[in-house]
A and B are shown apart, each in its own frame.
Chain A
């Protein structure tokens, strides 16, 4: 069974469009994350949610809006897509703190903005 799943795996779209990426985890975790990995493989956190509550927002443009309908899902909606949004987006989940708990990553969604 897939622990953290994302759809779609690939997403190609035009500048200015609005798109969504979905993430689901079946690990029973309380915390979910979105990361962005650029073409240089640099991986940076964007958001984290703890039981549907926004915990971390790393100065991401407000064109990016995460939505957590329940603690097993964290979707990422992106408005007015720009060329610089092209990247691989990873969802992850972990048990809630305190302290550090291992984060499990999904397979990624490769977004290409033309």
Chain B
């Protein structure tokens, strides 16, 4: 259901440090997971994805970890920069005959200088 009434989780880190953003997903049948970044006043932007048959995937400065046993997803951002400040969403794809992204609550990441 919707996360009505909940405040957006926040995470503050110092510039240059690593950050880890966590996400719990709900459907064990989901087969594809995506992290999106949303900057203020903009639409969500794709960061990295991972299929359910993988545990880890690395991109440029980002790593996604998937733990299907506990239905947990994490996004690690290395050497954070001011431009990393944004709201980060995890999303799961439940194919069921069509592409249907179900988004998590979102985490606001703030990079402190």
- Interface 0/1 of A92-105, CB less than 8 Å to B: 10100111111111
User: How many chain B residues touch the partner (CB < 8 A)?
Assistant: 30
- Contacts A105-B43, A105-B45, A108-B42 given: A43-B89 contact, CB under 8 Å? yes
Q: Could you tell me the distance between the alpha carbons of A97 and B32 in the complex, rounded to whole angstroms?
A: 13
Sort chain A's interface into a size bin. 20 to 34
Q: Closest residue of chain A to B94, judged by CB?
A: A100
- Interface 0/1 of A32-62, CB less than 8 Å to B: 0000001011111100101000011000000
Taking Cβ atoms with an 8 Å cutoff, the residues of B that contact A are 2-8, 31-32, 34, 38, 41-46, 49, 87, 89, 93, 95, 98-103, 105-106
A to B CB contacts below 8 Å, 29 in the list: A31-B99, A38-B2, A40-B5, A40-B6, A40-B105, A42-B3, A42-B4, A42-B105, A42-B106, A43-B103, A44-B2, A45-B100, A48-B99, A50-B98, A55-B98, A56-B98, A90-B44, A94-B99, A97-B99, A99-B95, A100-B32, A100-B49, A101-B99, A103-B101, A105-B43, A107-B41, A107-B43, A108-B41, A108-B43
